[in-house]
Amino acid sequence: MKDMGKLIDWKKKGNELRIRFEHREMIITALTDEIINVFVPIWSDEHRSKAVEESDLKRVAKSGPTSVDVKAVEEIKEGNGLRPEAGVELRTGKLKVKISNEGCVDFYTLEGKLLSGEYRGERKPIITLGIWEMELLKAEGHTVADTVLGKPVNDVRAVDPDEHFYGLGDKMGLLDKRSYEYENWNTDDPSAHNEQYRSLYKSVPFLICKKKECAYGLFYDNTFHSYFDLGKENPEYMAYSAEDGNLDLYFIGGESIKKVVGNYTLLTGRAPLPQLWTLGYHQCRWGYSSAKDIREVAEKFRELGIPCESVQYDIDYMDGYRVFTWNEKDYGKPGELFKELGAKGYKPVVIIDPGTKREKGYFMYEEGTEGGFFFRNSDDTEDYVNAVWPGEANYPDFGRKEVRDWWGKHINELCDMGVAAIWNDMNEPASFNGPLPLDVVGYDEERKTTHRELHNVYGHFMAKATYDAMKEYTGKRPLVITRAAYAGTQKYAAVWTGDNQSLWFHLAMMIPQLCTLGMCGYPVCGVDIGGFGADTTPELLARWIEASCFSTFFRNHSANGCIRQEPWKFGKEVTDIYRKYVKLHYRFLPYIYDLMHEEEENGLPVMRPLVMHYEDDEVTYNLNDEFLVGEKLLVAPVVTPGERVRKVYLPEGTWYSLWTGAKHRGRRFFLEEAPLGHMPVYVKAGSVIPMYEEMSYVGEKPIDRISLLTTPEGGSLVHYQDGGEDFSYREGNYNLYRFDVDGTGKTEITMLNEAQDVKPYDYFRVIRLH
């Protein structure tokens, strides 16, 4: 980092190296052999991380470095330059970190291969802005200097010509984000997003960098408004900068993208195994305005034989949009509709917004005011007021444990009514009377601070409050769905990509968005199938349900004022296609559940970009219209209107069509017929994939049968089975099978772990592709 001054001295203690420069101190800590923290205390002497909690550090410590050595490095002449520079070198069992006398930090393999080097030159933008671009920057409150040339906190790193960038959460754009710029500032913007949008609902400042023969990660743990320029300003470097805070960089090694993702999720936490039913299909609409609407939709799904777990309750169910209230006039007595539909297998999922109506006599307002639980104005003399759905509203200060506990008490009251899952929305936080001022006062636990620091973690704190309350109260694995998030929120919530639109471009963007969220630690993620805003079409909805078939958060959702998106609204053809792919999703639930169980162990998502497993294949580096489900399935959705022949790329190996069993060799493109209702799906040779029998919903009948889908070569499978609801699996209460299937279909079964109270399967059969 520049502006450090000259190195004065250094001291090593355990796995930590403290270096004193003329102007600042730098602390280098080896958390493991492959996770190195570089901390420069610009704003505070403490990390103050929200992503990396004490429990995370304890878990990481178990994988701590095998050794940490430090030595001084002398300057050596090489030709006309000086390489390496004088300074200090820290070495672990896997990495070397060189810190120059001027404070530049470079990361190497033990063999001396440069992974990431700090850029030594001055930043020189190659982009010349025109007059209209200058005016646009001014209108957005920026200047060329602060937008292009960085902020008080910055890190500029040299970029190889062949380097590729992945990550940053749910940002728009392509899988490979090279040559784009982004901002981390949680933003509620329901307009038609395109690849130039710099910020959306989540801030996940984690970047995966892929070179030809290696990969590494950069996680900049800073909740203030921050920026990434990934070679747009100048292809020679990438630049990170932030409005305030510390430089708190975690360099994450691992050699491959898979290992980097595994190390990142080791650091920030892995999503717990969800309840099985939550991975099923959900239907929702802002505009189901009565119990009659909910009931009719629920009954129609059963009548048409389309599996469904929940018809979700949007803001209409509340009394005047007051959180934790119930609209008895339109929805009947609290809990009655839940009980009625529960008998048919439906689980209640309700929306909760943070904005709390200012109204005397309303219990949430009275309790929040009396307890001092709301954000305060900049002078800290009165509660801050903005407006959302109920009108004038206050905002709970979720950074404080006592506020989270208060909120959680009311979450538990919803659980008493029968609510099975909570959907947190509007938690960027959204506001109708302009954005919350940066100097609004809130707390980080007991420390007073401002919204400038808290904005990007507001949704994170709300998710934590909801998850902790539900887990403690119900004993089940909570489903908390959040729109806004920060790095590490995956420990508490599933996510979706927010208010998308019924546009073909948004369907296409679903694939890189969900693959990226998965690489950033969010394995349970999805989009609003069909598009939330605008009006979908029969063809678009049909292709969207095809493409979403393997989503882990599998929900159709649309906005009030747009045409309704239940499949039967579009005729028999669309309904039949919809049924086909929802049923297919349920057939593959045990495979998805296996992958979720593995994710808790290795951090890898369910939905993956091809580059994650085929890093030596340059075709996969920015392949945006295909994805893998685990390693065994490859999915090639149709995302273009009118397309009836799909150009497919299969990577190295042999692959079989799921539908016909046709055999294809890999590492080539070919054309496949793809009429409406047909999505190309391929099974990797040597795979064994578990499948359930058909069901209308999870819990309809005992899951006592399993099918094993295999290719002609046969293969092996380690399959996981538990009770699907509580946390007893963490104490060993699960069945773990190994199935070995030969080329004739003959199968050998080995029980690797046997549960105390999870009934094993009664029956299995082998389905061979040929």
Residue whose C-alpha is closest to residue 280's, from 551, 527, 495, 522: 551
Burial class (CB in 10 A: 0-12, 13-18, 19+), 394: buried
- Read off the tokens for 246: 């510390």
Sign of CA dihedral 760, 764, 767, 768: positive
Of the residues 499, 566, 599, 725, only one is catalytic, namely: 499
Known catalytic residue at 499: yes
Catalytic: 146? Answer: no
* Token reading at 83: 């390489």
Each residue of 132-156: b (16+ CB within 10 Å) or e? eeeeebeeeeeeeeebbbbbebbbb
DSSP assignment letter at 509:
H
Active site residue 468: no
Burial class (CB in 10 A: 0-12, 13-18, 19+), 748: exposed
- Per-residue DSSP letters for 34-72? SEEEEEE-SS-SS---SSS-HHHHHHHHTT--S--EEEE
> Rounded to whole angstroms, what are the CA distances from 466 to 408, 445, 725?
6, 17, 17
Burial of 161 (0-12, 13-18, 19+ CB in 10 A): exposed
- Distance between CA atoms of residues 13 and 15, nearest Å: 6
What is residue 670's three-state secondary structure? strand
d(CA 4, CA 101): 9
β-partners of residue 251 are 36, 218
- Crossing angle for the helix pair 572-587 and 589-602, nearest 10 degrees? 50
Catalytic residue (choose from 102, 181, 428, 594): 428
Q: What is the number of H-type helices and E-type strands within the chain? A: 15, 49
Q: Which residues contact 730 (CB under 8 A, 6 or more apart)?
A: none
Do 639 and 504 contact (CB within 8 A), yes or no?
A: yes
Q: Look up residue 478 and give its two tokens.
A: 């909570």
Nearest CA to 208 out of 724, 591, 538, 603 is that of 603
Instruction: Determine the angle formed by the axes of helices 504-519 and 538-547, rounding to 10 degrees.
Output: 20
As given in the structure block, the two tokens for residue 183 are 């901002």
3-state secondary structure of 455: helix
User: How far apart, in Å, are the Cα atoms of 16 and each of 11, 36, 90, 104?
Assistant: 8, 10, 9, 18
What are residue 216's DSSP bridge partners? 209
Reading the block at residue 304, the tokens are 């048409």
Question: Which residue of the set 181, 353, 425, 539 is catalytic?
Answer: 425
Catalytic sites, residue numbers:
425, 428, 499
